[in-house]
Structure 1
């Protein structure tokens, strides 16, 4: 039995049906415009085993998610390495020196905003040059790169622009994982679906990509503040 899923049904001019489990646990069913409610139920039932298997795995991962409090000594990851929070009168914004994140004293209540801005700002410095480097390797031309808050995805892209977007949270992951996410999004400019051709494109640039996929499955839930 499928439990605790928010169901999002999206009808379009597509010819086939697809089912996706989003990172926030919601269930997205993409179907042709004339698909009936009964047919949608049949699609969900046909995928019940896969959904339940993913649900069990997701619950296990969430049990291992890190719960942080914005107090001195709390650890936060940046590019895969842990830094420890220390409030200070000597800084006006978040800075990291040695193994510490220094934050303005008295800013505990607004730490979420400070941290998000820190990761977003540094994301532009770190991610944007790498996007253009990999785009050149793949024979692509990207016009815009954004670092922002994405609801259920680590990254997304717009082929028409062409533009790529990345969640600020990925700045908590190791550089190799960020590189994989960049190559993954860029590969969508050549292959829309996750088919064999798509993964072959990723493999050309990053033969070890499966290690990064596995890392995200195991530790993705910890990429949060």
Structure 2
């Protein structure tokens, strides 16, 4: 066998609709589902397994590096988390994956402020016990709901590593919500185009267009 990568044959984590995209793009259609759609029902009435929020925000670069943060996307993430909380989804069942460390820090700060000003402990957890971390930090983990925030507003190679994209898409058990600038994401990667094609726009009561 040498260093040939191990090919996963059957997955027991994701709703079949969530597994379909990585199955086609990364596993040559050979991945089998070990769980059914009935075993991964919606946690919020009317929410599909794959959804997206089209946020036309502003990306700002962190000082001294290529990391990027997007305040409008961060606020949208908080709105989604509030809606999940209203529906009775526990905080520990939710995860936020960011492609940039600056976005992790921004969302953790917003969560801390919304929980009474208490700063999150060192690491990846906020006061709400919602894990917010980069893609690499989520490897090997799973959550019922994953919110994937991209931060970018123009096409670019910010995530050209298919292995990392595969990790990002396969952490969710019931729901994956992509938050980002839809036109930019469609042009950035076939992977994001497939997610947007398979997903449905997420309607949030608190989310208003400007």
TM-score norm. by structure 1 comes to 0.28
- Over alpha carbons, which structure has the higher Rg? 1
Which structure carries more helix by proportion? 1
By relative contact order (CA 8 Å, sep 6+), the higher-ranking structure is 2
